Amino acid sequence: MRIFEGGKPDEVAKKAGDTLNSVLEKYKDLPILLLLSGGSSFDILQYINPDLCDESVTVGVLDERFSPDPKINNFAILKATPFFQICTEAGTKFIDTSIPKGEELPEATMKYDTALREWVANNPTGKVIAIMGIGLDGHTAGIMPYPDNPSLFQRLFEDPDTWVTGYDATSDRNEHPLRITTTLSFIRINVSVAIVYVIGNKKKEPLKRTIAKSGNILTTPARVIHDIKHVAVCTNINM
């Protein structure tokens, strides 16, 4: 695990973008599935070299907010960015997780799961690269902490046969409780490279728990990064 710390938020976003560019350049002769996190992680997009996002690259999100609202749904927000337009013109493919009106949570979950499994099956030499964040409660993607309910945590996120799960995280845990997320199993099995982007001193404690040599994944799901072979943490937090 490499850790780059310090600097202004825009400098950290550029560092994360430059790191991603290096990874995309390294694997440019292979199929790539780039899975993005929402929120502040979209700040990285402006620093991605569009020349590296051609028809060999597929872009999706690591987790989704189950909402048809284009101001809430992660993929809908992505579609409104200049990055999406540039990628579209370059022939980049997409896994679209926007929610059509009337679509139910189980249907959207299955569609997302199927798309990921098809990409992996069709690209046996491909690389999955994830941009990951860390929440104030230690969550990553849509994988929330459940220290008081390990059996539920295991069922939702650690079943090796489940790559995508849809569930209600409840409003007391997150302002967007209905989630569709890749699971810990998907991340452990498939993600080759993760770039972790963490901004704001309010996240110092969860970041410390995440990168510590030991800890409880029930409390801090972001600790899954220890199970990924190549990880770069980019943060403005001085540890």
Asked whether 59 and 95 are in contact (CB, 8 A), the reply is: yes
Long-range contacts, stretch 164-168, CB < 8 angstroms, 24+ apart: 164/109, 164/112, 164/113, 164/116, 165/109, 166/66, 166/105, 166/106, 166/108, 166/109
Instruction: Give the residue numbers spanning the domain of 95.
Output: 2-235
Task: Convert the pLDDT of each residue in 182-200 to its tens digit.
Answer: 999 999 999 999 999 999 9
Say whether 123 sits in a helix, a strand or coil: coil
Task: Convert the pLDDT of each residue in 82-118 to its tens digit.
Answer: 999 999 999 999 999 999 989 999 999 999 999 999 9
pLDDT score of 169: 85
Say whether 107 sits in a helix, a strand or coil: helix
User: Three-class SS string for 36-71?
Assistant: ECCHHHHHHHHHCCHHHCCCCEEEEECEEECCCCCC
pLDDT confidence band for 80 (50 / 70 / 90): very high
pLDDT score of 175: 75
- Cα–Cα distance for residue pair 117/123, rounded to 1 Å: 10
pLDDT score of 204: 96
- The domain that holds 210 is classified in CATH as 3.40.50.1360
Asked whether 176 and 60 are in contact (CB, 8 A), the reply is: no
Task: Convert the pLDDT of each residue in 219-228 to its tens digit.
Answer: 999 999 999 9
Q: What are phi and psi of 235, to 5 degrees?
A: -150, 155
Number of domains in the chain: 1
Pairing of strands 93-94, 57-61: parallel
